[in-house]
Structure 1
Amino acid sequence: MFTISMSWVYELTILIYALSVLLYFIDFLHNNRKANRIAFWLLSIVWILQTFFLIIRMIDIGRIPILTIFEGLYFYAWVLISLSLIVNRLVRVDFIVFFTNVLGFFIMSLHTFAPAQHQSTLLAQQLVSELLIIHITMAILSYGAFTLSFVFSLLYFIQYNLLKKKKWGKRLLRLGDLSKLDHMSYVLNVIGVPMLILSLLLGIIWAYIKLDHFYWYDAKVIGSFIVLVTYSSYLYLRVGKGLEGKTMATLNNMAFLVLLINYFLFGNLSRFHIWHS
């Protein structure tokens, strides 16, 4: 009976999330502040419900639920909502929550329709360790930072095109200054890169301790280092060469595409990330 009730609440959460994204879209099209306020409170309710489910799941299995792709998708969606609400409160950049949660809703939908992967879950329980938990948590948090950075770059392009076409209006004012969008995208990458470095180091240490054979040429390992090199190149060009603006926004969008390829494609090709794919 409890399971059925939880399932009903979870489905309600998805519906509230969809309604929130829809209202943010209405605000984006028509500059409707009332829709924006309602969408924000609905998203806050979604975050509370998601956090509740996360805690219940954590108590049920005795660990942070991030070891399988089924669990990882849910945690990723929760991270995106959390970061978007925090950044929106601190920076006050309009539409950042909307674009971030379009991605968040997509991730949440993937989680909803993904297979439960019972065998992978059993294997994950056998391999669980604090080191692995920290490794995966930091990796997902870094991905969350990179995702939010991508959203700022996307907003940069929208604002850039509005200015170029001289489309003055409320949307132009609410998107904020180009330099601010560019700077926030950079700051989030500065946060994401060291977290990814630490995650990879911890993952390598864990693999050498727990696994009989560690494959440096594994698809997921190679893909993760490609992601790191791509974002590190972004930081080098930004800090070392002084590049900024449209060029860096374009590079940031390309880097995010590499990240998505690594997460969704290379993870399925991995030889030892079998509990996480």
Structure 2
Amino acid sequence: MTTAANVIYILTILLYSISVLGYFIDFIQNNRKVNRIAFWLLSIVWVLQTLFFVIRAIAFDRVPVITPFEGLFLFAWLVVTLSLVLNFFFRIDFLILFTNIIGFIMLAFSLFVPSGDVPEELTNLLVSELLIIHITFVLLSYAGFTLAFAFSSMYAIQNRMLKQKAWSSRLTRFGSLPRLEKLAFASTVLAYPFLLLGVILGFVWAYIQLPVLPWFDAKVLGSLLILIVYGIYMYERAVRNRRGYSLALLNLAGFLLVLINYFLSDELTEFHFWY
């Protein structure tokens, strides 16, 4: 990375950590002033992330989504973007905290991943429009599932607080249970097609570029399992009309699979050795 990009990257992580800490303090202490400061810091983080992407795209003369470092950074950028947009439209106080805990973890992991360009011997194999679309769609789906995770987590916590009769001002800031459940379902429905298309495009790319389709690759199987679990979740809610705590737990289980699949060891996957 260039010196300017490196400074922006470090500053982004620093401000992001302070912002998430601010939202956590607001969650614990119900401090609206800290919440406003955290919001503006997060807005600055979004600007810095966007600037970093532009600089990196110019430096490497390609869309910066190919390497593991770029994937983690894009994941975090998508989470920040979606959380700010949804907060603007729905005004759910704790949404930004729950989504950006995941976003910050992703950005923090990028510290431990090489930030250089794709190795020269892999450039011709990896850099293609189809692969870029495949990766972008998968990461868009993961960002959408992150939102569903946030809404389902908020639902589960509020449900538990109500059962324990833990009345407080914090309880009202979660939003109603039906609304959280509806938004979790909507986020899942919007994210699901992106993952489905991403997997299909991945197979198309593999058919073109590789001698054998990687049917039994660990990450391919993991992605199919994620599609099955979220498919069951959507079926249970839309067709069988199920509602409640158990359905929220199923959504959370789906996101746990997303995280496991994303960070699956390279030793278990040959097809996704670069990602």
Shorter-chain-normalised TM-score: which range?
over 0.9
C-alpha distance in 2 between matches for 1:101 and 1:235: 24
Task: Show the counterpart of 2:224.
Answer: 225
CA contact (8 A) 1:224 1:262 kept: yes
AA in 2 matched with 1:147: T
**Partner SS for 2:62:** coil
Name the structure 2 match of 1:184: 183
Between the two proteins, what is the percent identity of the paired residues?
A: 49
TM-score, length basis structure 1: 0.94
Match of 2:39 in 1: 40
Deviation at 1:124, TM superposition (A): 4.3
- Offset of 1:116 from its aligned partner? 3.5
TM superposition shift of 1:30:
1.1
Rounded to whole Å, the distance in 2 between the matches of 1:266 and 1:239 is 35
SS of the equivalent of 2:263 reads helix
Amino acid at match of 1:129: S
Structure 1 121/136 Cα, relative in aligned 2: closer, same or farther at 3 Å?
farther
Contact 1:25 1:98 in 2 (8 A): yes
For residue 67 of structure 2, what is the aligned residue in structure 1? 68
Matches within 5 A, 1:187-202: 187-202=186-201
Report the 3-state secondary structure (helix = DSSP H, G, I; strand = E; otherwise coil) of the residue aligned with 2:66.
Answer: coil
Give 5+ residue unaligned stretches, structure 2: none
Regions of 4+ moved over 3 Å: 116-122
Amino acid corresponding to residue 65 of structure 2 in structure 1: I
Matches within 5 A, 1:91-106: 91-106=90-105
Which AA in structure 2 matches 1:151? A
Partners of 1:83 and 1:45 lie apart in 2 by: 15
Partner of 1:131: 130
The 8 Å contact of residues 120 and 275 in structure 1, kept in 2 or not, is answered as no
Query: Alpha-carbon deviation of 1:210?
Result: 1.4
Match in the other structure for 1:7: 6
After superposition, the C-alpha distances for 1:155-196 in whole angstroms (9 at most, x for unaligned) are: 111111111111222111111100111110000000011111
Contact 2:66 2:126 in 1 (8 A): no
Distance 1:138 1:120 in 2: 23
Q: What is the CA-CA distance between 1:8 and the residue it aligns to?
A: 2.5
Q: Does structure 2 conserve the Cα–Cα contact (< 8 Å) formed by 1:219 and 1:269? A: yes
Q: CA contact under 8 A between 2:83 and 2:95: conserved in structure 1?
A: yes
Q: For the aligned residues, what is the CA RMSD?
A: 1.7
The 8 Å contact of residues 190 and 235 in structure 1, kept in 2 or not, is answered as: yes
Q: Greater shift after overlay, 267-276 or 138-147?
A: 267-276
Structure 1 residues 197, 119: closer, same or farther in 2, change over 3 A? closer
Q: Distance in 2 between matches of 1:118 and 1:4?
A: 16
Q: Tell whether the 8 Å contact from 2:145 to 2:187 is kept in structure 1 after alignment.
A: yes
Unmatched runs of 5 consecutive residues or more in structure 1: none
Distance 1:68 1:3 in 2: 17
Structure 1 residue matching 2:235: 3-state secondary structure: helix
Q: Whose helix proportion is higher, 1 or 2?
A: 1
Aligned-partner residue type, residue 62 of structure 1: D
Any conservation in 2 of the 1:223–1:266 contact (CA below 8 Å)?
A: no
Task: Write out per-residue CA displacement over residues 201-251 of structure 1, whole angstroms, 9 at most, x where no aligned residue.
Answer: 111111111112222111111111111111111111111111111011010
In structure 1, what residue type is equivalent to 2:57?
M
